[in-house]
Amino acid sequence: MGSTAGEPPDRSHPPHHFSHLVDCAVGVGGYFYKDDKDVNLVKITVKIFGPKYFGLDTYDVITTVLEVRDGTTVAEVMDTLDRIYPGLKNKLLRNGVIIPMHDIWINGRSIDFLQGLATVLKEGDVVQIIPPFGG
CATH number at residue 46: 3.10.20.30
Residue 90 lies in a domain: yes
Residue 29 lies in a domain: no
Residue 68 lies in a domain: yes
Q: How many independent structural domains does the chain possess?
A: 1
| Owning domain of residue 47 | 40-130
Sign of CA dihedral 49, 11, 2, 120: negative
Q: What digits encode the pLDDT tens for the residues 54-99?
A: 999 999 999 999 999 999 999 999 999 999 999 999 999 999 999 9
Residue 94 lies in a domain: yes
pTM over 0.85: no
* Coil, strand or helix at 42: strand
Average pLDDT over residues 46-61: 94
Q: Which residues contact 44 (CB under 8 A, 6 or more apart)?
A: 65, 66, 68, 72, 77, 121, 123, 124, 125, 126, 127
| Chain mean pLDDT for the chain | 81
